[in-house]
Amino acid sequence: MPQTRYIKILLLLISHLSCFSQPDRIKGTVFLDSNKNGIFDKSEKGIKGICVSNGREVVLTSETGKWELPAGDLSGIFVIKPANFGVPVSREMIPQHYFVRRSGSNPEVPQSINFPLIKSAEKDQFSALFFGDTQARGLREVNFINHDVVEECMGTNAVFGVSLGDNVADDPQLFAEISEGISQIGIPWYNTFGNHDSDRNAKTNSLRDKTFKQFYGPGTYAFEYGKVVFIDLNNIYFKPDGKYISHFTDDQLVFVKNYLAKVPENKLIVLMMHAPVVGCDNREKLLELIQGRKFTFSISGHLHEQVNLFVGKDMGWNGELPHHHLVNATVCGSWWCGTTDEVGIPHATMNDGAPNGYSVITFDGNKYSVRFKAARRPDNYQMNIYLPDEILADKVSSTQLLANIFAGSKRSVVEMHIDNKEDWKQMDQVNQVDPECLRMNRLTPFLQKIVDGQLLEDVFGNAMDKPSISGHMWQTNLPGSLLPGTHKVTVRTTDMYGQVWQAVRIFRVR
């Protein structure tokens, strides 16, 4: 081949490959989308002082809304929605605050990535919905989510919602069906990556969330609403052997540090993740970044229990006051297990004996309060009381009253009185298995039997896991002075936010 012809072909090949090369820097503009069409029109202007990140570095936009960042691997570039602004949402109500290179699309990166923002009046007092582990195995369980939880949330006054990971049970192809159902609530919905949301055949950690990213965007991001900053972190890290650990990557830690340097001290910092922060192998590094702040809170799912943790020095927190971490209730309860009710939905009791459900968190400036909501139950259904229906008179004083306060914590006060005649008596917190959860669990061997060629599990629902030790149980003995007859016990709880709930149980002495 003549040398000149060889050089021409080589130059043509280099020119062609350059169209698909990875840029060192990526840039764009954050603009006010006045006509809400998602396009940076000539008449529209950029917005100054908006944070944009590549999941590590964080920059503020210039006077004209321009920004520039190292491109990294382009796994996720995102704008951090500030207060009093909104971002477009997809048909499934997923906020479109990010750019992710789409799988199978033209690998060429646009010269400019422009993020639209829409003016939106936001109040300092607002509520948000938090779902733990919807974890659907197939469309049947997607329908459980819709009927058990989504339908009752329609019409909510919450301004957005968050799913805290494990949207599905190892089948990312169900993301669309899950999100289409949840979108019927009608509010923007953010999502966290969970271990069961991964691409199981992926060989590396960086590819485990590929489908998640294509559908929901990056697993690390942030947004602001009112006086609250929400930071979502994918803390599920897959090792080469396919097993995972709870871990924060160096990039995530740098991102949090860089972003918080631009956040005023009077704002509430809310960290969202799938696995509880206390289970992360390097939790101290994350906690160190927020422990100097006065207003912090974190929330996770994963455990299929509801737990209020107050993180202190023994768990890596060196702040002035303990850090509150909520392990949120799960929508699926214990993996949609248990016998089905009259409309075909499993009772799905969580492993700690609390019903399946979700949290309604109300924010007021930099303060917050949490209210647990049991699926398809009244708002005031906050406890189960355990006491025999009938008690012999000589056994009354040795009979224990037990209460499972579903969202209780060591900061709760739990009291009881009998027939409205006794002064309120404080009950003692104990760590034990919920007795009704244990009773239901004992059905498991029975459900796994074959009768007339059919697995009883198919009739009565999936068998439950073993119950766990519940951290929200309280007990006390009944007063021995009760006379024979019918009596009423009232249990009252005041939680850490000052919310008061009570329930009654009728019993007989003979």
Q: How many CB atoms lie within 10 A of CB 510?
A: 9
Q: What is the pLDDT of residue 148?
A: 98
Alpha-carbon span 224 to 86, nearest angstrom: 10
Q: What is the pLDDT of residue 8?
A: 42
Alpha-carbon span 66 to 57, nearest angstrom: 15
Confidence check: pLDDT of 63 > 80:
yes
Task: Give start and end residues of each alpha helix (H) in 219-261.
Answer: 250-260
Residues of the chain by 3-state class (helix, strand, coil), percent to 5: 20, 35, 45
What mean pLDDT do residues 365-381 have?
Answer: 98
Q: What is the pLDDT of residue 107?
A: 57
E-state strands within 57-201: 58-60, 66-70, 77-79, 85-86, 98-99, 115-119, 125-131, 160-163, 189-191
Q: What is the pLDDT of residue 338?
A: 84
CATH code of the domain containing 81: 2.60.40.1120
Alpha-carbon span 221 to 208, nearest angstrom: 17
Q: What is the pLDDT of residue 152?
A: 98
Indicate the residue among 374, 393, 416 that finishes a domain.
Answer: 374
Q: What is the pLDDT of residue 71?
A: 83
Please name the residues in contact with 33: beta carbons below 8 A apart, sequence gap of 6 or more. Answer: 39, 40, 44, 88, 116, 117, 118
Confidence check: pLDDT of 92 > 70:
yes
- Parallel, antiparallel, or unpaired for β 189-191 and 160-163? parallel
Indicate the residue among 342, 374, 406 that finishes a domain.
Answer: 374
**Taking a C-beta distance cutoff of 8 angstroms, is the pair 422, 480 a contact?**
no
Confidence check: pLDDT of 356 > 90:
yes
Residue with tokens 């000149």: 4
**Taking a C-beta distance cutoff of 8 angstroms, is the pair 76, 100 a contact?**
yes
Report if residue 326 sits inside a domain. yes
Confidence check: pLDDT of 16 > 50:
no
Q: What is the pLDDT of residue 109?
A: 73
Q: Are residues 283 and 142 both part of a single domain?
A: yes
Alpha-carbon span 39 to 35, nearest angstrom: 9
CATH code of the domain containing 397: 2.60.40
Question: pLDDT of 127-156, one tens digit each?
Answer: 999 999 999 999 999 999 999 999 999 999
Question: pLDDT of 183-230, one tens digit each?
Answer: 999 999 999 999 999 999 999 999 999 999 999 999 999 999 999 999
User: Nearest Cα to 144, choosing from 305, 327, 338?
Assistant: 338
Confidence check: pLDDT of 466 > 70:
yes
Question: pLDDT of 402-451, one tens digit each?
Answer: 999 999 999 999 999 999 887 899 999 999 999 999 888 765 544 445 44
Q: What is the pLDDT of residue 210?
A: 94
**Taking a C-beta distance cutoff of 8 angstroms, is the pair 306, 407 a contact?**
yes
Confidence check: pLDDT of 9 > 50:
no
Q: What is the CA radius of gyration of the chain?
A: 26
Q: Which helix (H) or strand (E) holds 426?
A: strand 425-426
Q: Are residues 135 and 264 both part of a single domain?
A: yes
Q: What is the pLDDT of residue 108?
A: 65
Q: Are residues 369 and 388 both part of a single domain?
A: no
Q: What is the pLDDT of residue 89?
A: 97
Please report, in angstroms and rounded to a whole number, the separation of the first and last CA atoms in the chain.
108
Alpha-carbon span 85 to 34, nearest angstrom: 12
Q: Are residues 319 and 197 both part of a single domain?
A: yes
Q: What is the pLDDT of residue 441?
A: 77
Report if residue 252 sits inside a domain. yes
What is the number of alpha carbons within 13 Å of residue 411 lying toward its C-beta? 12
**Taking a C-beta distance cutoff of 8 angstroms, is the pair 78, 99 a contact?**
yes
**Taking a C-beta distance cutoff of 8 angstroms, is the pair 406, 354 a contact?**
yes
E-state strands within 81-227: 85-86, 98-99, 115-119, 125-131, 160-163, 189-191, 221-225
Alpha-carbon span 275 to 122, nearest angstrom: 30
Report if residue 90 sits inside a domain. no
pLDDT greater at residue 481 or residue 370:
370
What mean pLDDT do residues 345-369 have?
Answer: 97
Length of the chain: 510
Please name the residues in contact with 297: beta carbons below 8 A apart, sequence gap of 6 or more. Answer: 268, 269, 270, 271, 323, 324, 325, 326, 368
Residue with tokens 């009752």: 152
Q: What is the pLDDT of residue 280?
A: 98
Question: pLDDT of 299-330, one tens digit each?
Answer: 999 999 999 999 999 999 999 999 999 999 99
Domain count, the chain: 3
Tokens read off for 314? 């023994």
Q: What is the pLDDT of residue 64?
A: 98
Cα four-point dihedral sign 103, 106, 110, 116: negative
As beta bridge partners, residue 501 has 493
Report if residue 273 sits inside a domain. yes
Alpha-carbon span 103 to 214, nearest angstrom: 7
Parent domain of 421: 383-509
Residue with tokens 């943790």: 309
Q: Are residues 416 and 321 both part of a single domain?
A: no
Percentage of residues in the chain having pLDDT higher than 70: 90
What mean pLDDT do residues 86-102 have?
Answer: 93
Q: What is the pLDDT of residue 462?
A: 61
Q: Are residues 351 and 208 both part of a single domain?
A: yes
Question: pLDDT of 18-39, one tens digit each?
Answer: 344 557 899 999 999 999 999 9
pLDDT band at 463 (very low <50, low <70, confident <90, very high): low
Q: Are residues 414 and 353 both part of a single domain?
A: no
**Taking a C-beta distance cutoff of 8 angstroms, is the pair 60, 68 a contact?**
no
User: Nearest Cα to 259, choosing from 51, 42, 474, 413?
Assistant: 51
Question: pLDDT of 264-303, one tens digit each?
Answer: 999 999 999 999 999 999 999 999 999 999 999 999 999 9
Indicate the residue among 349, 374, 399 that finishes a domain.
Answer: 374
Q: What is the pLDDT of residue 10?
A: 33
Q: What is the pLDDT of residue 366?
A: 98
Alpha-carbon span 30 to 311, nearest angstrom: 38
Percentage of residues in the chain having pLDDT higher than 90: 83
Tokens read off for 84? 């009093």
Mean pLDDT of the chain: 91
Q: Are residues 421 and 359 both part of a single domain?
A: no
Q: Are residues 330 and 349 both part of a single domain?
A: yes
Alpha-carbon span 364 to 306, nearest angstrom: 23
Confidence check: pLDDT of 2 > 60:
no
Q: Which helix (H) or strand (E) holds 290?
A: helix 283-290
Q: What is the pLDDT of residue 11?
A: 36
- Indicate the pTM of the whole model: 0.92
Q: Are residues 414 and 440 both part of a single domain?
A: yes
The DSSP call for residue 95 is B
CATH code of the domain containing 157: 3.60.21.10
What mean pLDDT do residues 328-335 have?
Answer: 96
Confidence check: pLDDT of 460 > 60:
no
Q: Which helix (H) or strand (E) holds 439?
A: helix 435-441
Q: Are residues 254 and 113 both part of a single domain?
A: no
Q: Are residues 411 and 505 both part of a single domain?
A: yes
Report if residue 162 sits inside a domain. yes
